[in-house]
Structure 1
Amino acid sequence: MIHSWQGRPHRSATSRLCGTLLVLAAGTLTLSACGVPLIPTLEPSATPSTRSSATPTATPTTGPSTAPSTGPSSGPGPQPPQTTAPQPPSSPRPPKPAACTTDQLTFGLQSRPFDSGMSSFFWDLSVTNAGTQPCTVNGYPTVLLVSSGQPVGAASGLEPRAQPSLVRLDPGQSAFSLLHLTQAGAHVCPIVPVTELAVTPPNNDQSTRVATPSPIDGCNDATTQLVSTGAFAPTPVAF
């Protein structure tokens, strides 16, 4: 009798506990002691894929992009246009003056009485540019004594007191050659009167006649040299 009474209360307490748990679980949780699982189950759903395919995959392009760049350029900004001051046109260099020709010059003879000695005397031969263009003289003129319209004696030698140099003659300018003459009487030769000189400028083959400052004697001998000429200089030679 005592054993039967003790087992009944035990079953009633268990039933009440199950009812309480069932109410708390609100029909979603069960207890194993009540004959229902304690772990909630989920409704079957579609198995998710291992990786979403929504992420776009970049496709490399093979050609250069034609879209204009909107970002700032990494290079230097626009440069102001370079301006160069206009240069004046270069004028052509004038040509170098040519050698004076005989027909471009006028000639003169002037004596130097204070430089003359007993057997020799000196004259200055001047040439002046009578043209409209500059020209040059450089070197020694050639001089022959002229008697009665004919050259006499030997052609001139060289006077060492003036050395050759290029002399530019603008229109109206002159150059000078020192003439050194010896007396014909100091030589054994036929004497003839001389009133002119035949003068040929350097680098020319045409001569002109120039009147002497005063008549002198010459030697009618092709081997006797009575005159020597100095190179042309801008001014007369000073002793």
Structure 2
Amino acid sequence: MEVEDMLRFALVHGAAGADEIDRLCAQHGWLRNGLLPDGTRVVPFACWAQTCAAYGRGGVAALRTLLADPDLASFAIAVLEEVKTVQSVQALLGFCDAATWQSPDATHAEWKALSALNLLLSLDDGVQVDAAAMGDVLRVVVKAFDTTAQPFLKRLCLYAARGAPTAQTLAWLQQLDVPEAEVKAEAEAQAARAVAIKSIKRRLSPTYKAPDAKAKRQIQRARAADL
């Protein structure tokens, strides 16, 4: 059993899939903390099972509830990233809107949520959202960027800005000063900003055409082949 298999099963089979996931969890005694008696770490399948089953029965609305649980928020974020819908983006934006961005840990739930938004919105085959959602993305990115002192998290913010390809985002990036204490960190920040500016300019161009469903599948197959 792989986590990806469980995710796909819940996405495809809904409530029936949730019942089967619950049955397997009980049958095999999956753990919540992922810690065996001898101290060995394993995948916390019980948390994944609870999250996937919640989605199978209640969709994105059920995952919104789990986002409020510190023990399950990261699992809910991972499932929302796989759902790839406007509704999952809205749930992640709601979570990010309430974030403080104080943690320096990239594995903290709030940074995982921003990373998920980056993956869902910043690529050509990503989820298409309206202008209001793009405004929310920019607001979240600016707050996170201004709050964190960690160079690698600031770079994540810059990359995530691509998910809001608007004139306002472009203006923010172009006027942004990104000095870092170390030369390498500053070069990396400037490179991330350049990538974001280039992406947004391209998507704002009158000649840009978002890929249709067929083109998206081709992009996804090409990306999978590169992994």
Please classify the TM superposition score into its range, dividing by the shorter chain length.
under 0.3
Q: Which has the larger radius of gyration?
A: 1
Give TM-score scaled by structure 1 length. Answer: 0.17
Counting helix residues as a fraction of each chain, which structure ranks higher? 2
Give TM-score scaled by structure 2 length. Answer: 0.17
Counting strand residues as a fraction of each chain, which structure ranks higher? 1
